Chain A
Amino acid sequence: MKESWANGASTRSRWKREATLPRRVSLSAAFLVLALGVGHGIAKARGQASLPAAGNSGAPSPRYLDPSALQLSPNGRWLYVVCQNADTLLVVDTRTQQVVERVPVGRRPEGIALSPRGKTLYVSNEWSDTVSEIDTATLRTVRTLRVGSGPVGLTTDRAGKFLYAANTLGDDVSIIDLSSGKEVKRLSAGHFPEYVALSQDGKRVYVSNLLAQLAPPDDPPTSEVTVIDTAKQEVVDRVMVPGTIELRRIAQVPPAEGGYFLIPFLQPHNLIPLIQIRQDWYVSHGMAVVQPAKRAGGKARVVEILLDDVDRDYADNFGAVVTPDGREALVTASGANLVSVIDVAKLNRLLSRVPANDPGVLADRLDSARKFVVRRIPTGREPVAVVVSPDGRTAYIANRTDDSVTVIDLRTLQATSTIDLAGRETITARRRGQQLFFNARFSNQGQLACATCHPHQGFENGLAWSLETPELGRDVVENKTLLAIKDISPYKWNGANPNLATQDGPRTAMYIFRSQGFGATEVRDLVSFVQSLRLPPNPHVGPGGNLNERQELGRKIFFRDKTNDGRTIPLNERCYFCHPPQTHYTLRVVVNVGTSTSLDTNQGFKIPQLDSIYMRPPYLHNGEALTLEEIWTKYNPDDKHGVTSDMNKVQLNDLIEFLKTM
């Protein structure tokens, strides 16, 4: 499917034309619609789950849907589509390729799992901190389960007795006893755990973490795959994937084909000056091959393999799946709008040549993918999830910013149709901006989209980047969040960009993308989208916004005007002076608080907003402070960053508790 970027005009009509089914498929569908009437009756007679007729399901949604996760019923008949922006679960009949039901769920649903027998669906509601438990027969929500903060990835254990939920904002995994519906354990994961997968033997749950472990800014990133023993319900391994961030969905190759896990990743070169984006490897995109430990107590083996080619990137690998026979694996490139088809046998041949003592030998090679990627199949915009039918013949790919599902025939490796999920008809500037945000085609060799460095729809990626400055290697600065930044201009750490249009326009094209970048209309659209990005609900704020005792004590410290020994703190050295609550806790000016280093050409930095500061470690302009506490205990020796040296440990902790409520 070709892209259309017609400015100001709806792209949907053209998109529909291009997605028109061939006559053969249309007639097939007509036949199957008729046959469904028969099948529906037969299914009922057999007591299988059947669904009501389409009803109102054909009407376009008033909202964009943003399909973000997929699940197939055990017989492959029903495709469940989690629609992040519509707080809805869609049910698609795979025979007719029509939406047949819409099920309301919680706020910003993100993940989905099916019970082993297929009778119950679980949908994580990221902004409700809940999981909707849905009966697949009635499609009614039977329970709403409380989990941790920001749940995304879900899986049940093999018996269907426990549910595992990855809590992104909590950096942990909730284990829910499904008989009681109560959380029985919460296990520490890595940083921003997002997706989970149950091993095919049912013994382990693997958890991928989106962000790297917190580390000094001049260390290359290392990301974690957290491994949980389902019998003990304990973390039994933390598999490190060096040099990577943004681990995404997890797929497992059958034991007969190797039994390893495939986890897409991003390989950044953030410590190297950004001028190198002129090469094709400034950021690279690949997958971790995680071979489980062969015996108890052993260590898993990780081989990193890039899916990019020389001079050609396939940005932001996201969804992953392996066919039931283990012959093929599919990995979606959400920034390149395609899916890479991997011949597992060829991959195995390559893996067999990796020396046991040097598993990193392929991590820096751009000539690997050609040895096992057998096809790159175009999809819709932002393919983020992929599933394969139980018979292994069909793959379904969720195109998040297209509100569609691409259907791929795995025998011919061709996209055969596109299922329109009937999202909002009109395409607004904000929607176009969203589509631009995730598209890497505007950067040199398609290396990166806005979303590459601002994953999870606008988060910061926790890394310090060596951007282009008057002198290379200077002014290494922490990546910043894009959430709730509409009213906090100017932008950049040095405050040099007066507005988002400046930030996203020629500057981005010239110095970051090193390519054509966005045109004027595209910049307007992109700004419209960025300005719409909101913060998730803050889990540290109590019901009604009330503060607890510690938070209240911290609030008093934040607004104090005297030190512990009664000295008056000058107005401009009080916390609230530079971080006023009325303007997102930023005075929106550049100040020198003594945090610059000899490698900074700037002494002052724009005061950062403190909204949701709890979820944005590391801190300071260069990411030196790994925790909020370190801001004062390590990097404020002269009280230039507010008067804090008189505070004791308890007071600092209280202050931090209050800051987390912002």
Chain B
Amino acid sequence: MRFPRIVSAAVVLLSFWFWFGMAKPARAKRNPAAPRALPPLIFVVAPTVVPGGLAGRFPRGSHLALLSPAAPAKAPADLTPLFFAAADPAVSFDASHVLFSGQKTRGGRWQIWEMSVDGGGQRQLTNCPGNCFRPIYLPQNQIAFTVVSEPAAGQKGTRGASAIYVAQEDGANAHPITFGPGNFQVETVLHDGRLLVSATDPLQAGARSDARVFYTLRPDGSGLSLFPSDAPSSMAESGGEELDDGTVLFVERQDPRGRESGGQLAWIRPGALHARAITSAKFVSWSAHALDEGRLIVAREAVNSSAGRGTFGLYAYDLSTKSFGETIYLDPKLSSVEPVPVEVGPIPLIYWSVLHPDRDYGRVVCLNAYLSGDGPQVHGRPRIARVRVVALEGDGRAKRVLGDAPVESDGSFYIKVPANLPLRFELLSRSGSVLRAQRSWIWARNGEDVGCLGCHEDKALTPEDHWPLALKRLDTPIPVGLGAQAKPEGH
């Protein structure tokens, strides 16, 4: 009677299978495992937070605080007691150090500082003539930060222009990597090694609003490219943040003129062309950061609490349910913003620069100027005959036409232009009338080869596989705005 014995055994096993194999996961599902313990958090504590420029966010001072979940009852430790104000904490990839921007005295300049995560060993890394903010760590022992210049004389009450600088980890060899008038600000470094930055749209001098959009560029300042978002009123209030899957989070300001603090939390999913708000308009957030798998820590205005309106606290946010969870920290009298977990993080990929510092020019190859999205739009498809290069010189107010060059019948052109100079292109008809005019300013770094489809082209478009006619000409690249001093290229 072996057969029945086997069947019996099978039945017993089946029972075990149902009990241990199926029932347990089902019960686990009803009672999901508790999130892992919170890591230590460093964040900014400020009496008030206000919208506007980087220098004016914390008008009554602020300090960095360390919250240790191991001692939840203990008040957060003040890491910067000797500073009038401190902000923008960024934790190193190995979680041993923190970069931050600090103002030692009231009215003093903001500089970039570094300290151990316990607040020890504070050292000043920069000596900016203006104010320095938003430092981040980069691979290969580099840092990047935003430099806000002092307003020009006679421009009291206005904000200075901002640019992004890269330096060695000790602050040495600081140099700009942005050259346009777009008031560039560092947001974060993406996993693929590109910098995510924000700038006024469309990188215009004297833009009429504070609306900002995202761009990416390499740590050497090459490869400026619009990040795939078409939300013209988007503004990263306190830093874009990339999640493990490539999603970029940011706070989308509702008011493009920036009269309100904070905004809605939004994200740009991998592959998406559009940003999408993920929190309700009733919740006003200041910043967000990845906390653990599926959760964020969000600095959000306190509601339904003893805290006064305009006071921000730290809350968990569940991405799967898209809802706020536990209160991680709330001081009813002070705002808590810009939280960053103190934990080891992935090191972004290294980008090997291919610039040539010895060259005072870069090259621009356009594959098809007919694909340009920038206006003015002209009916039909008039023949584009030439491209005119306009530069922004001096203090950013003087425009100068550098020259022009032919555009081939397939819309391609290949030119050589001065390096590190804000440039934009105008596409001309044979009679010289402007058919398209690029709105934004771009640049070519020393020895950079800037490639584009058109100007402000459709990000979702791949070009035709075609050998551009401009590259078949033996007299290209055609120098524009370069005198005889342009150095010849070595082979």
The reply to whether A472 and B271 contact each other, CB–CB distance below 8 Å, is no
Cα A517 to Cα B350 with chains together (Å): 8
Q: Is A275 a contact partner of B17 (Cβ separation < 8 A)?
A: no
Give the residues in chain B near A514, CB-CB below 8 Å.
351
Which of B192, B414, B464 sits near A473, CB closer than 8 Å?
A: B414
Assembled-state Cα–Cα distance A532/B300 (Å): 58
Asked whether, in the complex, the Cβ of B462 is within 8 Å of the Cβ of A366, the reply is yes
Residue of A27, A466, A472 near B21 (CB, 8 A) is A27
A313 to B, closest residue via Cβ? B271
Q: Which of A34-42, A323-331, A624-632 is the contact stretch?
A: A34-42
The answer to whether A367 touches B467 (Cβ under 8 A) is no
Whether the pair A278, B21 counts as a contact (CB closer than 8 A) is no
In the complex, residue of chain A having the shortest beta-carbon distance to the beta carbon of B349: A516
Which residues of the partner chain A approach B352 to less than 8 Å between Cβ atoms?
A: 506, 509-510, 516-517
A472–B449 CB distance below 8 A: yes
CB distance from B352 to the nearest CB of A (A): 4
What's the interface size class on A, roughly? Answer: 35 or more
Indicate whether A281 sits within 8 Å of B462 (C-beta atoms), given known contacts A370-B272, A470-B491.
yes
With A270-B465, A364-B464, A472-B365: A37-B24 Cβ-Cβ less than 8 Å: no
Check if B223 is an interface residue, CB within 8 A of chain A. Answer: yes
Known: A470-B490, A473-B414, A516-B349. A28 touches B17 (CB 8 A): yes
A27 touches B17 (CB 8 A): yes
**Partner of B474 from A269, A370, A598 at Cβ < 8 Å:** A598
User: In the complex, how many angstroms separate the beta carbon of A44 from the nearest chain B beta carbon?
Assistant: 14
Tell whether A220 is near chain B: CB-to-CB under 8 Å.
yes
Q: How far is the CA of A312 from the CA of B462 in the complex (A)?
A: 13
Output the residue of A22, A364, A506, A601 with the most chain B CB within 10 A.
A364
| Cβ of A277 to closest chain B Cβ, rounded Å | 9
Residues of chain B contacted by A367 (CB below 8 angstroms):
271, 273, 460
A281's closest neighbor in chain B, by CB? B462
Residues from chain A with Cβ under 8 Å of B378 in the complex:
none
C-alpha gap A370/B17 in the complex (Å) = 39
Nearest CB of chain A from residue B163's CB, rounded to whole Å: 22
Counted as pairs of residues, one from A and one from B, with CB atoms less than 8 Å apart, the total is: 155
* Interchain CA distance A25-B25 in the complex, whole Å: 11
A310 contacts B471, C-beta separation under 8 Å = no
Tell me which residues across on chain B come within 8 A of A595, comparing CB atoms.
none
A598 — which chain B residues lie within 8 A by C-beta? 474
| Interface window among B5-13, B104-112, B169-177 | B5-13
Give A300-335 as 1s and 0s: 1 = Cβ < 8 Å from B's Cβ atoms. 000000100111100000000000000000000000
B64 vs chain A, min Cβ distance (A): 32
Contacts of B262 in A (CB 8 A): none
- If the complex has contacts A31-B10, A269-B462, A311-B228, are A370 and B363 also in contact, measured as CB distance less than 8 A? no
Min distance, Cβ B296 to any Cβ of chain A, angstroms: 21
B468 touches A312 (CB 8 A): no
Question: From residue A624, how far is it (CB to closest CB) to chain B in Å?
Answer: 14
Given A220-B465, A366-B461, A510-B354; A278-B451 close (CB under 8 Å): yes
For the complex, is A369 an interface residue (Cβ under 8 Å from B)?
A: yes
B192 adjacent to A515 (CB under 8 Å): yes
| B487 lies within 8 A of chain A by Cβ | no
Cβ of B326 under 8 Å from chain A: no
Q: Is the CB of B25 within 8 A of A24?
A: yes
Interface residue B477 (Cβ < 8 Å from any Cβ of A): yes
- Chain A nearest CB: distance from B319 CB in Å? 17
- Taken residue by residue from 316 to 354, chain B's Cβ proximity to chain A (1 for < 8 Å, 0 otherwise) reads as 000000000000000000000000000000000111101
Interface residues of B in 455-491 (CB under 8 A from A): 459-468, 470-472, 474, 476-477, 489-491
Q: Is B418 an interface residue (CB 8 A)?
A: no
B10 A473 Cβ-Cβ under 8 A: no
Given A31-B13, A511-B354 in contact, is the A311-B462 Cβ separation under 8 Å?
A: no
Within 8 A of A (CB), among B382-415: 414
Q: Check B451–A273 contact: CB distance below 8 A.
A: yes
B24 touches A445 (CB 8 A): no
* CB < 8 Å neighbour of A220 from B246, B466, B491: B466
Q: Determine whether A271 belongs to the interface, using a CB cutoff of 8 Å to chain B.
A: yes
**Known pairs A275-B449, A364-B464; A309 contacts B270 (CB<8 A):** yes
Q: Residue among A366, A369, A466, A509 with the most chain B CB within 10 A?
A: A366
Please give, as numbers and ranges, the residues of chain B lying within 8 Å of A37 by CB-CB distance.
Answer: 6
Interface residue B278 (Cβ < 8 Å from any Cβ of A)? no
Residues of chain B within 8 A of A466, CB atoms compared: 467, 471
Write out, one digit per residue, whether chain A residues 590-601 have a CB within 8 A of any chain B CB (1) or not (0).
000000001101
**Contact between chains at A364 and B350 (CB < 8 Å):** no
Residue of B whose beta carbon sits closest to that of A27: B21
Contact of A364 with B462 in the complex, beta carbons under 8 Å: yes
Cα A444 to Cα B348 in complex, Å, equals 12
A365 within 8 A of B: yes
Give the chain A neighbours of B472 by CB distance below 8 A: 473, 599
Interface size range of chain B in the complex: 35 or more
- B14 at interface by CB-CB < 8 Å: yes
- Across the interface, name the chain A residue whose C-beta is closest to B216: A311
Contact B271 A515 (CB under 8 A): no
Nearest-neighbour CB distance to chain A for B477, whole angstroms, equals 7
- Whether, in the assembled complex, A67 has its beta carbon less than 8 Å from a beta carbon of chain B, the answer is no
In angstroms, how far is the closest chain B Cβ from the Cβ of A312? 5
- Contact status B349-A473, CB under 8 Å: no
Residues of A within 8 A of B7 (CB): 38
Q: Would you call A310 and B459 a contact (CB within 8 A)?
A: yes
B192, B349, B460, B468: most-surrounded residue (chain A CB, <10 A): B460
A278 touches B491 (CB 8 A): no
Closest to A466 in B: B467
Q: Is the CB of A364 within 8 A of B463?
A: yes
Chain A window 500-514, contacts with chain B (Cβ cutoff 8 Å), 1 for yes, 0 for no = 000000100111001
- Min CB–CB distance B423 → chain A (angstroms): 18
In the complex, which residue of chain A has the Cβ closest to the Cβ of B139? A516
Asked whether B363 lies within 8 Å of A310 as measured between CB atoms, the reply is: no
On chain B, the residues within 8 Å of A455 by CB distance are none
Contact A271 B13 (CB under 8 A): no
Question: In the complex, what residue of chain A is closest to B22 when comparing beta carbons?
Answer: A24
Residue of B nearest to A515 (CB): B349
- Within 8 Å CB of A511, what residues of B? 354
Asked if A311 and B21 make an inter-chain contact with CB atoms under 8 angstroms apart, the answer reads no
Tell yes or no: B422 within 8 A of A by CB: no
Chain B residues whose CB sits within 8 angstroms of the CB of A270 once the complex forms = 465
Q: How far is the CA of A25 from the CA of B16 in the complex (A)?
A: 12
B240 at the interface (CB under 8 A from A): no
Interface flags, A206-224, vs B, CB<8A=1, else 0? 0000000000001011000
Contact with A279, one of B24, B451, B465, B468 (Cβ below 8 angstroms): B451
**Residues of A with C-beta under 8 A to B351:** 514-516
Q: Which residues of A contact B3 (CB under 8 A)?
A: 38
Q: Which chain B positions have C-beta within 8 A of A284?
A: 462
Specify which chain B residues have a CB less than 8 angstroms from the CB of A311 in the assembled complex.
Answer: 228, 270-271
Say yes or no: B461 contacts A23, CB within 8 Å: no
Q: Given the complex, which residues of B lie within 8 Å of A229, measured CB to CB? A: none
B-side contacts of A510, CB under 8 Å: 352, 354
Cβ < 8 Å to A, chain B residues 262-295: 270-273
Flag whether A257 is at the interface (Cβ < 8 A). Answer: no
Assess A35 versus B10: contact at CB under 8 Å? Given A278-B223, A281-B462, A515-B192: yes
Q: Contact at B460–A310, with CB atoms within 8 Å?
A: yes
With a cutoff of 8 Å between Cβ atoms, the chain B residues found around residue A509 in the complex are 352
CA distance A273 to B25 in the complex (A): 54
Q: Closest CB of chain B to A166's CB: distance in Å?
A: 26
Contact A271 B465 (CB under 8 A): yes
Is B193 interfacial (CB 8 A cutoff)? yes
- Looking at the assembled complex, report how far the CB atom of B119 sits from the nearest CB atom of chain A, in whole angstroms: 33
Can you list 15 A-B pairs, Cβ within 8 angstroms, ordered by A?
A: A27-B16, A27-B17, A34-B6, A218-B467, A221-B465, A268-B465, A271-B466, A275-B365, A309-B272, A310-B228, A312-B271, A366-B462, A367-B273, A515-B349, A598-B474
Which of A's residues lie within 8 Å of B, judged by CB?
22-25, 27-28, 30-31, 34-35, 37-38, 218, 220-221, 243, 267-273, 275-276, 278-279, 281, 284, 306, 309-312, 364-367, 369-370, 444-445, 466, 468, 470-474, 476, 506, 509-511, 514-517, 598-599, 601
